[in-house]
């Protein structure tokens, strides 16, 4: 293994794995920290965790465990992957995990760059933009679990870390090479081991990727990995051969627990000509709706040749009302367990194509399916690949972050993860 990555959620892991695979690395996404050794053909290993919204101490412990396993596999460079919208509260996990990984690897400095221009995430003057809006004006300020109320990543990260946070402005990024090496060294010497780097287009990320070739630790969104495969290729370390993946064939379903603006639009688009089952938190908590009932409803439609959608997607006001009535943790937990159980029941009954919307929902689904690793297929939309795993035969998956994907993503994804 040449490159190892720790991702704080399952959709983010797929996003990063997709970037590395597109760069020509034989990439495997692992579900949690494996107990054995990585396959010999694995050039890039991405360990998918579900640590974004858990207690800091637990996130640090799990991340260190995953990173230690990756280092034991011989990886030369470690990536800590978080969301391109930096999903993390003021008391969140990104800073503490990053500092713990700095200590584990002995790295003097690590870049901090969630930018992903292909999906509209850009960093300028240390501020994160989504499209033409500051992060805290993009809708992310209403996120039910990690509301982002400040676009200044330097300041937001500063709330979470013990040390100081540095910054490399865009002009310096454009100077590249020696200038960037000098800048990172100066920041480290000043005690600023985590350094936010501006990037507004893919070219900036490629410059950064080349400049951090020798960095033991890299942190950011999947965009920061754009230039990393080329570093290994320059050393003639990549096999550069396409992976041959089995094809999943059978009934399909879409499961969406995300309430993002993008997901709301995608659900509406899929329902325009498709069939759907809307799930409310109150239905689950009262027992009026169960995973068994929902799976039965899906199977009836699959037998008629339909791939339906089951969704809890709602507008922010409805989500806030449910959280106030039932509690934030209780609401989130009920929805996640429900979707995990539905996915498991359907997969056991012969569903071989499952498309999931939402990071937390994706994590719950993959954990419930009890699969150990995922092979990376073709890209469906920027940041979202088709995935194939073995569960008594090929099972095709797509795990979409709530904010990612085109309006017609769900229909497109079902076609690309396998055949009916």
- Which residues touch 104 (CB under 8 Å, ≥6 apart)? 64, 67, 68, 71
| Vertex 376 angle, CA 334 and 98, to 5° | 65
Question: Is 274 strand, coil or helix?
Answer: coil
pLDDT of residue 144: 75
- Mind listing the pLDDT tens digit for each residue in 15-32? 999 999 999 999 999 999
**How far apart, in whole angstroms, are the C-alpha atoms of residue 100 and residue 396?**
35
pLDDT of residue 42: 94
Q: Got the DSSP string for 31-76? A: ES--SSPPPTT-SEEEEE---TTS-HHHHHHHHHHHHHHHHHTT-S
Distances (CA, A) of 391 to 160, 194, 281, 356, 367: 40, 40, 30, 17, 13
Distances (CA, A) of 196 to 165, 172, 317, 354: 7, 12, 34, 36
**How far apart, in whole angstroms, are the C-alpha atoms of residue 315 and residue 264?**
8
**How far apart, in whole angstroms, are the C-alpha atoms of residue 410 and residue 408?**
6
pLDDT of residue 148: 81
Please provide the size of the chain in residues. 420
pLDDT of residue 237: 95
At 126, which helix (H) or strand (E)?
none
**How far apart, in whole angstroms, are the C-alpha atoms of residue 32 and residue 347?**
20
pLDDT of residue 11: 87
Q: Which segments within 298-358 are labelled E, that is strand? A: 309-311, 351-357
| Vertex 226 angle, CA 225 and 227, to 5° | 95
Q: 291-302 and 328-348 are packed helices; what angle lies between their axes, rounded to 10 degrees? A: 40
Q: Does the domain formed by 251-416 have CATH 3.40.50.300?
A: no
The domain 3-234 belongs to what CATH superfamily? Answer: Putative sugar-binding, N-terminal domain (3.40.50.10840)
Count CB-CB contacts under 10 A for residue 106.
8
Strands 351-357 and 251-256: parallel
Q: 202-211 and 177-189 are packed helices; what angle lies between their axes, rounded to 10 degrees? A: 70
Separation of first and last alpha carbons in the chain: 35
Is residue 323 within 8 A of residue 144, CB to CB? The reply is yes
- Mind listing the pLDDT tens digit for each residue in 234-291? 999 998 776 678 899 999 999 999 988 899 999 999 999 899 999 988 888 888 899 9
DSSP for residue 385: E
pLDDT of residue 135: 85
Q: Which residues of the chain have pLDDT under 50?
A: none
pLDDT of residue 242: 63
The domain ranges of the chain are: 3-234, 251-416
């Amino acid at each position: 293994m040449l490159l190892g990555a720790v991702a704080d959620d399952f959709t983010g892991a797929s996003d990063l794995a997709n970037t590395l695979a597109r760069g020509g690395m034989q990439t495997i996404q692992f579900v949690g920290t494996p107990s054995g050794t990585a396959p010999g053909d694995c050039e890039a290993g991405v360990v998918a965790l579900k640590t974004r919204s858990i207690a800091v101490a637990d996130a640090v412990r799990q991340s260190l465990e995953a990173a230690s396993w990756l280092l034991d596999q011989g990886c030369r460079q470690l990536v800590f992957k978080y969301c391109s919208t930096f999903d993390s509260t003021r008391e969140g996990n990104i800073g503490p995990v990053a500092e713990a990984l700095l200590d584990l690897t002995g790295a003097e400095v690590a870049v901090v760059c969630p930018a992903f221009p292909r999906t509209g995430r850009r960093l300028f003057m240390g501020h994160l933009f989504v499209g033409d809006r500051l992060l805290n004006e993009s809708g992310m300020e209403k996120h039910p679990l990690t509301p982002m109320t400040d676009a200044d990543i330097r300041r937001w990260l500063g709330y979470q870390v013990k040390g100081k946070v540095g910054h490399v402005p865009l002009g310096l990024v454009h100077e590249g090479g020696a200038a960037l090496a000098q800048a990172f060294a100066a920041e480290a010497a000043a005690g600023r081991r985590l350094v936010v780097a501006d990037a507004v287009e893919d070219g900036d990320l490629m410059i950064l990727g080349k400049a951090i070739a020798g960095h033991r630790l890299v942190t950011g969104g999947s965009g920061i990995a754009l230039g990393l495969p080329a570093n290994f290729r320059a050393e003639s370390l990549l096999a550069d051969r396409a992976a041959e993946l089995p094809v999943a064939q059978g009934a399909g379903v879409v499961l969406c627990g995300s309430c993002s603006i993008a997901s709301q639009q995608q659900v509406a688009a899929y329902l325009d000509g498709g069939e759907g089952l809307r799930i409310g938190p109150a239905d689950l908590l009262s027992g009026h709706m169960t995973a068994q009932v929902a799976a039965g409803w899906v199977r009836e439609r699959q037998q008629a040749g339909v791939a339906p959608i089951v969704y809890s997607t709602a507008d922010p006001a409805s989500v806030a009302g449910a959280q106030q009535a039932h509690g934030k943790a209780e609401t989130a937990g009920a929805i996640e367990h429900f979707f995990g159980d539905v996915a498991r029941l359907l997969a056991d009954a012969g569903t071989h194509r499952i498309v999931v919307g939402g990071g937390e929902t994706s994590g719950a689904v993959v954990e419930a399916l009890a699969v150990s690793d995922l092979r990376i297929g073709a890209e469906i939309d920027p940041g979202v690949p088709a995935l194939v795993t073995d569960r008594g035969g090929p099972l095709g998956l797509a795990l979409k972050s709530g904010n990612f994907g085109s309006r017609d993503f769900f229909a497109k994804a079902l076609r690309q993860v396998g055949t009916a």
